[in-house]
Amino acid sequence: MATKRDYYEVLGLNKDATDEEIKKSYRKLAMKYHPDRNPDNPKAEEQFKEAKEAYEMLSDDQKRGAYDQYGHAGVEQGAGAGGFGGAGFGDAFGDIFGDIFGGGRAGGQRNNVYRGADLRYNMEISLEDAAKGTETKIRIPVQSACETCKGSGARPGTQPVTCTTCGGHGQVRMQQGFFSVQQTCPKCHGNGKMVKEPCPTCSGAGRTKQNKTLSVKIPAGVDEGDRIRLSGEGEAGVNGGPTGDLYVVIHLKEHNIFQREGGNLHCEMPISFSTAALGGEIEVPTLGGSAKMKIPAETQTGGVFRLRGKGIKPLRQSETGDLMVHVVVETPVKLTEKQKELLREFETSTQADSGKHSPKNKSWVDKAKDFFG
């Protein structure tokens, strides 16, 4: 007969190991060598049995004392290398393998309580409302606790009864070869109770679909994709579990004039040919009305001018953004003959020294000549 290894050596522990260290070490080895995880490895099965026997002996204070004093001889009579008869071992087994097989310790009343689902509501608001904040009402469909049965799922005047399959534990112990495992009860699905007479309103579900109207406060400065959490306004929980939350997700409507970039606003502003050439003052729209802006002489299309503090104050920032005005020089249309003649005269007068009056055009022409040789 092969000599048994020292139990402490099997678990990789010293003799002064605590109960928690013994359990932790066994858990690690059991998960590593469990037969279900090593179906074609006989050696792993032997290592699993060896670790199990070591844990069975060292987790029992009486057996551990005898082993510490007399070694294997002190526990040989009561030990069984392949058995599950050790005192308290079934409970420990259920503890350790509960997370593998979906079970927990049996023996106490179980009632699976689940938090209700969170909900999402997409809300589209205008740029103006995002800038200053607003309050609006929304209507959403939710799963709420049934008013007839108060969420129990049972017909009024009756109560859910203890599950006859698991005895109210929510778990059943299944024998699989040389070991047993705990699994969720297939009849009550882990609740520990069954509804014999379902509620006529919710058909035993304990929840019904309802529409409810909520008031939502939109804080000033919200931006695209921001979420507003309404605690407890989601779906009702199961078996008395807490209600989920409602998340209102903000989406900004496209604006006719402005585009938002964080706290800054951008807009495109057309200006006349004469204003661009000679300079002047124009009125620019802002979210708070209109503002005066000076255009310097010789302004070109694409020029960007900043109006400080005319943007939006973002939700989580202390400073208000700016308004960035992108000017576009507008070409005159539907000219009269006299206006056309004046433009021809103007064109003729500037051609004599085009490099001075149209520096960008001259630079482009020079680059084109170099390109074509």
Q: Residue 204: its pLDDT value, please?
A: 82
Pair type for strands 179-184 and 171-176:
antiparallel
Q: What is residue 326's DSSP assignment?
A: E
Supply the CATH classification number for the domain 119-252. Answer: 2.10.230.10
pTM of the predicted protein model: 0.56
One pLDDT digit (tens) per residue for the chain, 373 residues: 457 788 888 899 888 888 888 888 888 888 888 877 787 788 888 888 888 888 888 888 888 888 887 777 766 654 443 333 333 444 444 444 444 444 443 334 445 667 888 999 999 999 999 999 999 999 988 888 888 888 888 889 888 888 888 887 778 877 665 566 778 888 777 777 888 888 998 888 888 888 889 999 999 999 999 999 999 998 888 766 788 899 999 999 999 999 999 999 999 999 998 999 999 999 999 999 999 999 999 999 999 999 999 999 998 888 999 999 999 999 999 999 999 999 899 888 877 665 566 666 656 556 666 667 6
Q: Residue 286: its pLDDT value, please?
A: 95
Q: What is residue 135's DSSP assignment?
A: E
Q: Residue 126: its pLDDT value, please?
A: 96
Query: Which ranges in the chain are annotated with CATH 1.10.287.110?
Result: 7-101
Contact partners, residue 267, CB within 8 Å, separation at least 6: 257, 258, 259, 284, 285, 323, 324, 325, 326
Reported residue count of the chain is 373
Residue tagged 């509804």 (tokens): 195
What sign does the dihedral 347-348-350-353 (CA atoms) show?
A: positive
Q: Residue 15: its pLDDT value, please?
A: 86
Nearest-angstrom CA–CA distance, 271 and 279: 10
Query: Which ranges in the chain are annotated with CATH 2.10.230.10?
Result: 119-252
Q: What is residue 108's DSSP assignment?
A: S
Q: Residue 253: its pLDDT value, please?
A: 96
Instruction: Dig out the tokens for 238 from the structure.
Output: 């199961």
Residue tagged 């490099």 (tokens): 355
Q: What are phi and psi of 324, to 5 degrees?
A: -100, 115
Nearest-angstrom CA–CA distance, 266 and 269: 10
Q: Residue 356: its pLDDT value, please?
A: 65
Nearest-angstrom CA–CA distance, 267 and 256: 9
DSSP code per residue over 137-197: EEEEEEEEE-TTTTTS-BPTT---EE-TTTTTSSEEEEEETTEEEEEE-TTTTTSSEE-SS
Residue tagged 């079934």 (tokens): 90
Paired with 207 in beta bridges are: 145
Distances (CA, A) of 340 to 158, 194, 332, 334, 345: 94, 92, 10, 10, 9
Supply the CATH classification number for the domain 259-372. Answer: 2.60.260.20
Query: Which ranges in the chain are annotated with CATH 2.60.260.20?
Result: 259-372
Element (H, E) at 328: strand 323-330
Nearest-angstrom CA–CA distance, 278 and 295: 9
Say whether 132 sits in a helix, a strand or coil.
helix
Domain 7-101 belongs to what architecture?
Answer: Orthogonal Bundle (1.10)
The answer to whether 289 and 310 are in contact (CB under 8 A) is no
**What are the strands of the beta sheet with 119-125, ordered from one edge?**
119-125, 246-252, 227-230
**Under the phi-then-psi rule, with left for phi > 0, alpha for psi from -120 to 50, and beta for the rest, what region is 240?**
left
Instruction: Dig out the tokens for 332 from the structure.
Output: 């005159």
